[in-house]
Structure 1
């Protein structure tokens, strides 16, 4: 994994291998997927050394699902990826609100890895409700 040209990083969530006393690493396209998940789940200001890193999607929790709201989400994600994920070219962002009554909005990213010219997609579930099925 050390010679990966797309990068190598910790798996997400961080997982440890007790037999080798090491952190489990991910590389290439999987590392990009984990990076996107971390980028979308991080609030701006959460990382002390990079205060502009993140998306602040949690601020949109109680907003009504309007065209303006969807456009705003797309632009926030587009800007975050532009600045913090240089390994990909974003093709499209779709906001699927068909499950809004259940409290789930799916954010679908279609992108191309610049180095390999391979196309991928990433689906990020954005939950508008808290977990209420805990007894």
Structure 2
């Protein structure tokens, strides 16, 4: 698959939707233009277990986080549906998100999952690059 695909074809869209965790990432972005991987992992864990955010175990959230980082986010980023900064964990809607939005919206309506619960994160979206401390610091 080529990076920078202008508009994912229908097969590619349905391939992304075939995996629940990728669907849930896309559902999240129907309501928000940006997030952090930890924030999304917490919400996905709650959706998968059908519990509140506060009831999600640390182990479950960590398992979801790892699968997002190693499998699902890179696949979505390869098609520019999202943009993922591995260093900070920040995720934003990619250039091709709008081309999949109608299909994702219909899928979400059919699953009838709870709305996204927004909560503060410690991430700074699009922060300055890390720099080495100077002698003056």
TM-score (norm 1): 0.30
Higher helix share: 2
Instruction: Pick the structure with more strand per residue.
Output: 1
TM-score scaled by length of structure 2? 0.29
Greater RCO, 1 or 2 (C-alpha within 8 Å, sep 6+): 2
